Amino acid sequence: MILDKSREENNSCILKISLFLANFGHMNYLNYLSENIDSLDASIFVMNQQIENEIPLHSHERGQLLLVFGGIAYLQTDTTNYYIPSHHYIWIPKLQPHRILFNTKDLHIQNIYFVDENDLEHPFYQKLGIYPVSPLLHEMLHFTIGWDGNAFPGTWKYELLLTMKHLLSNENLKRFSIQLPTTTDKKTLEIIQYLRDNIHESMTLPEVSLFFGLSVRSMTRLFQQKLHISFVQYLKMLRVIRSMELMRDSNMNITEIAYSIGYSSLSAFSNVFHQLTNMRPKDFQIMVSLKARY
């Protein structure tokens, strides 16, 4: 009886958080989150509301599973922007600063905050990573429809969620490798914005270097020093991310998309897309067009 009462009280937490955020702002919300969610070490907390995007860079005392369905989401850390496509999840280690962003109304995000089991001692849970939702994980998630609040030890919900967590490290899925490093360097940001604005053009390193009055060597060094990535690799990732957005938000076919992001060859685009995502563009387009909900 006491456990049922506690569960009912905690399952009203989401509504309280929403009201608290509206009335008292981000900083107080973070304090509230820490006191009412992170402090309950024995429970697993489920949040289906899209609230995390409302607050700036923050972290949790628990490892976090963030699932994305039906749209496009971005996760920012203090060094990198991660693209999370539909039907993928991202594992966020405990104490990892992050912020959630998205730009579509029909996006569904689910957050699950897991009880700590010495996670930082396990290689999988140590590192932030993005992975596809497997059929088995999808079926398990089906049972979490409508769940919000804390699941406590001794309940079947808790056991299912904990099993789900253990599944993640044992599926051996390939990580989704698209991530764009960030910087505060003004010159680099100007170049990045130029690449975004002219992504439909067939840009090369020498051409962009000349436009900004830099030598190829200087441009190469700038990207390596400020972004820790090559100019060519950054442009590849930028183009693939844009192609994913177009597959999700436009009626363009794969060939049209390839040309619209600066590729003159469909095969070249397909090969780069596969290299970065472990799937072909057509497969990804089919996946996002389904807009599957669990």
Query: What is the tens place of the pLDDT at every residue in 220-255?
Result: 999 999 999 999 999 999 999 899 888 877 889 999
Where in the chain do CATH 1.10.10.60 domains reside?
183-290
**Is domain 2-168 annotated with CATH 1.50.10.150?**
no
Task: Using alpha carbons, select from 271, 201, 204 the residue that is nearest to residue 240.
Answer: 271
Looking at residue 214, its pLDDT comes to 96
CATH C-level class of 183-290: mainly alpha
Closest CA to 264 of 204, 215, 196, 194: 204
Q: How far apart are CA 136 and CA 172, in angstroms?
A: 13
Q: Which residue has the higher pLDDT, 41 or 239?
A: 239
- What is the pLDDT, as a whole number, of residue 31? 64
Domain with CATH 2.60.120.10 in the chain: 2-168
What mean pLDDT is predicted for residues 34-49?
A: 75
Q: Is 155 helix (H, G, I), strand (E, B) or coil?
A: coil
pLDDT value at 218 more than 60: yes
